[in-house]
A and B are shown apart, each in its own frame.
Chain A
C-alpha cells in the first residue's frame, strides 16, 4: 500500500487512566468528566491498599493517581509520581488555607499525623515539605473529618453520658458492642484516640507512635479483646452497616460514605463529634512520573476539571469537602450548601450521590459547619515511621482469639 493511501488524521488519543478507590471514582463523575472534557477516561477502582501497591509496583499502569495524601509516603520515594506545576492549575489560588498551611484559619488546631501541608510542596532537594514552592506532590482536593458512628438509643443506655468521646470505643460498658476498622492505618488511630481519651494511655505524638507505645497499645487491646469488648472488624461500608444491623454492634469506627449504607439498612445511626477532635483525611490527585506529551496535558485538564465545581458538588453529597468550596456552591442547591458546608439543619430532604434521599429534613450534620469541623482535627490519617511494625502488631491483635 502506498503512503498516499494512509489517513493523515492524527492517531486517536488513548483514554486517560485514573487509579484510585470508590471513595472518589464514581461512575457518574467519570461520565461527566468525559462529556465536559471531550476525552475518554478510564477508572481503575481498587481498595486503598491495592491502589497504593499497584501505583508503587507498576508506575506505568496509570496516568492519574487519586488517593489520600498520606499514601504519598509510599509513592514519592519510589518515584511513581512527577511534580505538579501549580502554574498549570487554573484555580490554584482558590485552594483554601487548610492544605497550604495546615490550618483552615489562624486559630484552628494544627492536626498531628499526616497534615497535608507537610507532604505538599516539592523542596529544592526533591523531598516534600511545608515550605511553599511552585511544584507540588498532589493536587489537594477532597477531605473530611471522621469520627465514630453509634446508635444513640443504645449508647444512652450503655454510657449515659451525653458528651461524645472517643473513650466510648474502649469503655467496658460497651462490652461486645464495639467494632473497628480492620485497616491498621485507620483502626489503630481510632483506638489510640480512644485509649488516650479514656486515660488508659498517653502518646507523645499520636500521629507517630513509638515501638513501646505500639507494644503497650496492642497489649491493652488484646486484653480487652479477650474480655469480649470487640464484636468485629470491618473492611468496607457495607460490612460496617451489616455489623450494626446483625451483630448487635452499637458503636464503631466510621467512614462518611457509610451513612448511605446505614440509611439503607434502616439504622438510626449518629456520627459523633468527639470532644477530643476528629481523625481527618485529605485526598488528592497525582500524575504518573511516566506521563509526558499530550497525555500529560490531558492529565492536567482532568485535574483542573476537579477544581471547576461540578466534582466538588458530587463529593459534598457524600459528605466530603473540596479544596475550593466556593466553586462547587454553584452546583449545589442552597439547602444542600447550608447543610453540608454551613452546618445548618436541612430545610428539605437532601439527596446523596445516587439521587436517593440521604438526609431527612431537620437533620443536622455532626460537628456543625465546615470551618468548625475542619478546625477540630486531632490527627490526620497517616503512615507512621513505625508503620511496618504497627501493621504486624495490629495483625497479631486481629488474629488473637
Chain B
C-alpha cells in the first residue's frame, strides 16, 4: 500500500484547515492537507462571510464582553478556557486573514475592519465584520494560504481512520478517489479540521454535502472524548419548499429588522422583536408552534417582514438587507418568487441543520482529550470539529473566527509537538495498524454490488424525525433503535472495492461516520433530560427543567461496541453576572418592544436613523 510521510497531516481545507496548515508549515513542519472536496471548497466558502472581530466597531467592546456573550447565550454551558482563548484571539485571527490577502474593508481612521453597525442577535456590541463577496472572500484567502507552495495537498481524499500506537497518533488511512486506492499517511501530528454533521439531516440543511461527521467519528474511534453532541444548531429561517431550495438559509434573526415577526399558519404572531433574539430562541418558537398543530403543511411558520417596508425607514431597511446579505435574497427570490424577495409577502420558513456546537473535546491549544481528560499525543482538532466552545447556542458570525483562531492554535501546537523529532513506527506496527483499519473494507469487498445510499437516506429520515429540532424521549429512542438496525444493514453491505471514484465505497465511509454521530447525538440527547439548546424537548417540560446543569460527554466504547455517555461537570458563571445578562437582555427586548409601539411617525424617524447609520457608513467610505 502506498505510504506518504509528513510531520503534520491536516484533514479539511476550510478556514480551520487552511489556518492550521499554513501555520504549521510556516513554523517549519512538512504539511499535507487532505480534502474530500476541491481545495478550499468548504462551508467557509459558502458562508455569509461575516466574522466576529472583537472591538472592530465599538470602543466599549472588550474581550470580557465577548466571552460573556458567548457563555450566557449558550446557556452557560461552554468551556470557559475555550471561550477565553477565542475572545483573546479574534483580532489576531483577522490579521492572519489580512496576511492571506482577504478583500477587507479597513476603516481609514482606525485601520480596523469595518463591522455591521447593528449587533447580531445575542451580541452585546456590534462586532460582526462583513465582506463584499461573503464567504467567497474567505475562500480566496484560504486558497492563497493553501497554494503558497509551502505545503502539499490532495483533493478527492477521504480520511478514514487514525492509526494509534503506544497511545500516540502515528497517522492514518486514506481513500484516494482520484487514484482509486487506499494509502497510509504517516504523520506524528494529525489536525482534524473537517467538522460538521448537518448532512445527517439532509435535505433539511444549508451546508456542504461533505458534512458527514467524519472528524467526530474518526476521533471517537481513536479514543477521543466528544462533548455536547446533542447540541445541533438548527438555523431558524430556512426554506421549507420547494425541494430544490429546501433547507437553504434565508435569514439571521438580525435580518428581521425591528418590525419582523413570526406567524403561525393562521397568521397569529408567535414571536416578535426577532432581531435581538438568538437563533435558538427563534427556532424554538417555530418548533413549538408546529408541535401544537399551528404550523404550515410543510411543517414551518411564516417569517413576516412586510411591516419593515413602511415609511421612509422602510426604504432604508430594504436597501440595507439588499446591500449586506444579497445572497439570502437571491435564495428567497428563487424559492419564493420576486414579491417575497421584495418583502411584500411573508416567507414560509422552517429550521434547518446548520452547525454542530458539540464535537471533539480539546484543550485551548486544540489538543484532543481522551475520556480521562488527558491529551492524546499527536491528535488535534480545530473549528467545527471541536466542541465545547459555544455551549447550546452559537452566536452569529463566530464560526469563521473559530475556524481561524483554533486552526492557528492547532497548527502552532502541532508544529511544536513534532519539532523535537518523533521516531517513525516500525514496519510491523504500521502493518498492524493498516490491517486493523482496512478490516471493515475487506469484509465488505464482493463482486456483487449493493448500494449503501439507501441506508444513508433511511438514516437521514429517521434523524430528522427523532434527533431534529423538536425532540421527545420516545422519538429519540425510536431513532436509536433504527440506527441499530441500519448499523446491521451496513455491516452486511457488499460492494466491489476497485475503480476510480468508487461511489459505493465513499458512501460506506460516510455512512459509518454518520451512524456513529447519530448515535452520539441520540444518546447525549437522551441523557440530558431538559430543554436546552437549539432544539426543543417537547415532552414533560415541567419535569425536565429540574435536572442538573452540565455538559454531556460521549465516547465510543470498543468493548460495548456503542457510544456511552457520562456527565461532565461545568463551572457556572457567577450569579450576579448571570442576572446582569438577563437584565440587559430584558432591557434590550423592552426597548425593541417600545420602538414597535411608538406612534408611526416617531417610529419611522427612529428606525430611519438606525438603518441609515448602518447604510450611511458604507456610503461615506466608498
A binds B: no
Seen from chain A, the residues whose Cβ lies within 8 Å of a Cβ on chain B are: none
Seen from chain B, the residues whose Cβ lies within 8 Å of a Cβ on chain A are: none
